[in-house]
Each structure stands twice: as C-alpha cells, then as structure tokens.
Structure 1
Amino acid sequence: MTFSTTPDSQHRGLVARLPRRVRGLALLARFDRPIGWWLLFWPGAWAVALAGGAIERWDLIALLLVGSIAMRGAGCVYNDIVDRDLDARVARTAARPIPSGLVSVRGAWTWLVALSLVGLVVLLQLRPPAALVAVASLAPVACYPFMKRITWWPQAWLGIVFSWAALVGWVEVAGGFSLAVAAVYLGSVAWVIGYDTIYAVQDIDDDALIGVRSSARALGGRVRPGVGAFYALAVAAWGVAIWRVRPDPLALLALLPVAAHLGWQAATLRPADGANALDRFRSNRSAGLLMFLACLVVGTA
C-alpha cells in the first residue's frame, strides 16, 4: 500500500519571510508547527485545573506554556541532531533544516543550548518539589530519539515524555502526588500513543524501507481500532481522575465532549490518506482544550 505524505518543513507563512539563517532555526524548533507545543502543554494545564489552581495559579499555566514552547523546540532540535541521517532517507523529513543543509550540526547544538536556557528560567520559577519532578524528565527525553531503533512502540515512550507536565503542574499546585494525577498521567500516555500512531502512518512506507519501528507498523491493518482502543483507555483513566477529585456521576459528564471528539477521530481516520491522518492528528489541539475545560469545571466546582 502506498501512503501519501506531507513534508513537515514547508517554509510557509511568517517563517518563510524570515532571513535564511533565522528561518532555519525557526524550522528546526518547529515554530512553524505549533501543534507540538500545544500537545506538550495541555497535560500540565489539565493537572493545574483539576487540582483547583486554574484561576489562582494562572501564572503557572502561562509558565507551562512558555516552557512547553521552549522545551518542545529543544526536544525537536535534539531529535533532529540524533536522527539527521534517518531524516535524510524519509520523504516527509528530508527537507528538515539539518539534512537539507539549512542549519549546521554545530549551529543546531548552539540553538539547543539557547532554548534550554529559556526552559531553565521557567524551571527556576517553580517550587523545589515541582522543579525536581521537571528535572527528572530529562532522562526519558534524552532517550526518546533512540526508542524507534529498539522498540516497536516508541509512541509509548513519547507518551511518557509528553505527559510529564501533568506531574509538574499537579505537584506545584497540590504539593505532592495522588491517585488522581497518576490517572491523568496514564490517560495522557494513552492519548499520546493514539495521536502519535495517527502521525506515524504518514511515514509507514519509508519506515519499513529503512527499518524504523513504530506503533503504526506494529498495528498494521488494525491502526484505526488500535487508535480507538488507546483513546478509550485515555478517557477511562481520565474518568478515574475526575472521580477521585469529585466522586459524582454528574462530574463524569464533563468528559463527554472530549470523548466524542476522540471517537470522531478514530471513526473517520483513513490511515492510507496522509492528509486525513495529519488533519486528525492536528485536531488533538482541540481535544486538549476540551479536556482542559472538563478539568476546569470539575476542579473549580
């Protein structure tokens, strides 16, 4: 089966008007693709809202947003440095700044340090317990680019990384861990596996040729039901989290909008259509917002 793909460095919009060198750095950090930092940000915002801090700690939500933009950019730079040889052999990633020659490897390392310093400034605004939780994320982040070489489920590792802000946000507001935040975190991991499997179908042909593993390849012809199953696990875990905060059947109704949205994604996904898959993937920005609203309603009730 042939899968259509959309290159992920298309040099469009404001980024296309930047000077060449600056444009390369912006593309390297994926500033032209904000969906990535939205997906990194939402779990932290959920945790803050569900812990009851959405209004009083609006500044924390803002910090998490800034940190997500900077650290998602740093993560992309690091990933591209590690994957530069693989990226050159995949149609969707061949135009990325490093394999295309727009940014040198040395320049990429310098840019990585600069973005990490922004993340450090955000880190220093947190209380020590939350800051320690944030620092603990560095090990799984560093390991992530290598997971596609050693496991069929690198999306699960991405879930561990991209859900970490939930732990940081909850500890900052509540002062410690609880079953509620564990359920938010595990639900987020399942959500990430689902949406990143959708993203991975765009590369399935190239990945098969060069031996890169992914959940999309592991699921084969069962991608759509597989995504649906992970989304169902996410909603179930989030239901546990909400129940722990507010044990009222009516509180669970707050999850209906996000559950319906995720169900729509799985039901309408066409894995062989790259444009369809990319659209469903990007729609998770809306899914994250719906989940935030659910947490806001329950956490402030």
Structure 2
Amino acid sequence: MTEAQLTPDTEHRGFVGILPAAARPFALLARFDRPIGWWLLFWPGAWGVALAGGAVRRWDLILWLLLGSVVMRGAGCVYNDIVDRDLDRQVARTRSRPLASGAVSLRAAWLWLIALCLIGLVVWLQLGLYAKIVALLSLALVAGYPFMKRITWWPQAWLGMVFSWACLVGWSEIAGRLTAPGLLLYAGAICWVIGYDTIYALQDREDDALIGVRSSALRMGKRVRFGVSLFYIAALLLWSVALWLVRPDPLAIATLLPVAMHFAWQVGTLSPDDGAGALARFRSNRFAGLLVFCACFVVGTVATL
C-alpha cells in the first residue's frame, strides 16, 4: 500500500500494510485505519449505560456497543462513499478513497456493506426489545446523512443525531425506557458532535466551496472558534442537567470540569487555517469522550448505591 493510496488522515498505516493486498482497500473503505470514528460513535453509548448505573453490572453491554460501533461506523462509511463517490473524486483529501479511485468496485462495496451490517445484527440481537426498537429508529437518520451536505449548511447537526444515537440505546437498555436524563445526555452529545465535526470540516473548506458542498465550517466563516465554543458550552449545560437529574449534587456537576477544560484547550488553540492542527484537535475528542464517560460512571454508579 503506497502513501498515495492512503488518505491524508490515515492513522494506522502499519495495520493497513500487514493486511493481504486484496483486503486493504476494504479496510480503508470501512475506515479501519482511522479508529477515531468508532470511538466517537461508541462513547455516547457508553455514557448512556454508565449514567443509568449499568457500567459495572452490564460491562458486557459496553463491549457489545464497542463492537457495534466498529462495524456500524464501517458500514456507514461504506454507504457514505457509495453515495459520495463522484464528489470524492473532486476533493483532494478524498479522491484516493477506494471507491473514488476505483480500487473497489461498486458491487463489491455493496457486498462489503451487507457483511458489516450482518455483524451489526448480531450486536442488535443482544439488546432487549425496547432498546432494539430504539436502535432501529436510527436507520432513517443514517440513510439520510450522506445527502445532507447537498441541501443544508448544517450536515453536522444531522451527523450529531446519528453519531449520538447509541446514547439512547445504552440508556434505554439499562433504564428500561427513554427518560429525561438520557434524552438530555443525547442532546448534549449532538452539540458535541456539531462542535468537533465543524473542526474536522475546516480541512475541506476550500474544496467544499469549489464543488458546492455545504458545511457548518463554511457557514460560520471567520467565526468558527466562537461557533464551536457555543456548541461545546451547550453540550456542557445539557450534560450538567442530565447529571443533576440523576444525582442532584454540585459534586455531580463538578465531574464535568475536566472535559470543560479540555474543550477550552481545543478552542483556545484552534487555528482555522491550520488543517493539521484542526485534525489533531478533532482527534482529541476521543479523550473528551473518555472524560465524559468518567463523569457518567461516577455519577451513575454513586446514584445506584
């Protein structure tokens, strides 16, 4: 696998290199070389389990959600690339993707998508009936996401609804139904996703403007740092209310201070014209997700004692 065949934001070049040559394009198509995506999909689900008080008792569910995040994020990327294959050929960062470059045929991509979804089905079968229904409701959002960048300046908001959905699944599996804390946790996660994906979209602003693709990064223009700050603040406020409803104690809110400091670092050091710096701050959100999980774990576990 040559450097030219890898997208610029590939993280695990060594992993891709040891795969059989025939398997490498499929690994890249599912973004297995970039684990940041599945971590960002996984963390909201883990938050829901933890805040509902099930992190210790249902540790197996957290592992199932991690597996589901890996394969369903992969499936989502394959589907996105099927829809966007013509657009991807026009963007410098994405023209080397397997479908856009011709390394994988359209038929093979559909078969790979089906295979990943079958693994996701195994994870879905581990859920109770209520959580199964909640999980199924996400499919319409997933199907619509690739088209959002063509019709709205805020595709990041749609992505937020998709990438945060596991929060509702994890919460409802433990709590038995959707209630206010889980819904507020989900709403905060949406704001978080809008913030970090706006940072990610900074890399493509010039190409997106040329080909007519819309994004929150373009919409915010020179006020990107201010806009991202507002969404991060909204996320913190919504999460604070969710934690308060589970355990009405100022110390519960204090558990979010580490992630608040991390968000402040992201925004304070963000340079909108520095693509590499934006990518690094985007990737740092896997750590932000861990910090929120720690807060949910402490509050949810203490509340159940």
TM-score range, shorter chain: over 0.9
CA distance in 1, matches of 2:46, 2:139: 20
Greater CA deviation, 56-65 or 12-21?
12-21
Contact 1:71 1:119 in 2 (8 A): yes
From the superposition, tell whether residues 97 and 60 of structure 1 become closer, same or farther in structure 2 (CA, over 3 Å).
same
Contact 2:52 2:175 in 1 (8 A): yes
From the superposition, tell whether residues 225 and 203 of structure 1 become closer, same or farther in structure 2 (CA, over 3 Å).
same
Q: Residue 278 of structure 1 corresponds to which residue in structure 2?
A: 279
From the superposition, tell whether residues 254 and 263 of structure 1 become closer, same or farther in structure 2 (CA, over 3 Å).
same
Contact 2:155 2:214 in 1 (8 A): yes
* Matched position secondary structure for 1:32: coil
Structure 2 letter corresponding to 1:26: A
Q: Residue 30 of structure 1 corresponds to which residue in structure 2?
A: 31
CA distance in 1, matches of 2:204, 2:174: 39
In the TM superposition, residue 68 of structure 1 has moved relative to its aligned partner by 0.4
Q: Residue 181 of structure 1 corresponds to which residue in structure 2?
A: 182
Q: Residue 49 of structure 2 corresponds to which residue in structure 1?
A: 48
1:298 aligns with 2:299: yes
Q: Residue 15 of structure 2 corresponds to which residue in structure 1?
A: 14
Q: Residue 100 of structure 1 corresponds to which residue in structure 2?
A: 101
Q: Residue 252 of structure 2 corresponds to which residue in structure 1?
A: 251
The 5 A counterparts of 1:114-263 are: 114-263=115-264
Contact 1:51 1:173 in 2 (8 A): yes
**Structure 1 unaligned residues grouped into runs of 5+:** 1-5
In the TM superposition, residue 9 of structure 1 has moved relative to its aligned partner by 5.1
* Matched position secondary structure for 1:21: coil
Identity %: 69
From the superposition, tell whether residues 97 and 9 of structure 1 become closer, same or farther in structure 2 (CA, over 3 Å).
farther
CA offsets 1:271-297 (integer angstroms, 9 cap, x no match):
100100000000000000000000011
Q: Residue 4 of structure 2 corresponds to which residue in structure 1?
A: none
Q: Residue 68 of structure 2 corresponds to which residue in structure 1?
A: 67
CA distance in 2, matches of 1:138, 1:51: 24
Contact 2:88 2:100 in 1 (8 A): yes
TM-score by length of 2: 0.96
Contact 2:11 2:34 in 1 (8 A): no
CA distance in 1, matches of 2:76, 2:238: 27
CA distance in 2, matches of 1:280, 1:40: 17
TM-score by length of 1: 0.97
Measured on the aligned residues, the alpha-carbon RMSD in Å equals 1.0
Deviating above 2 A after TM superposition, structure 1's stretches of 4 or more consecutive aligned residues are: 6-11
CA offsets 1:185-241 (integer angstroms, 9 cap, x no match):
000000000000000000000000000000000000000111111000000000000
Greater CA deviation, 74-83 or 263-272?
263-272
CA distance in 1, matches of 2:100, 2:174: 42
Contact 1:28 1:77 in 2 (8 A): yes
Contact 1:7 1:95 in 2 (8 A): no
* Matched position secondary structure for 1:83: helix
Structure 1 letter corresponding to 2:265: W
**Structure 2 unaligned residues grouped into runs of 5+:** 1-6
Contact 1:52 1:296 in 2 (8 A): yes
How many residues are treated as equivalent by the alignment?
296
Q: Residue 3 of structure 1 corresponds to which residue in structure 2?
A: none
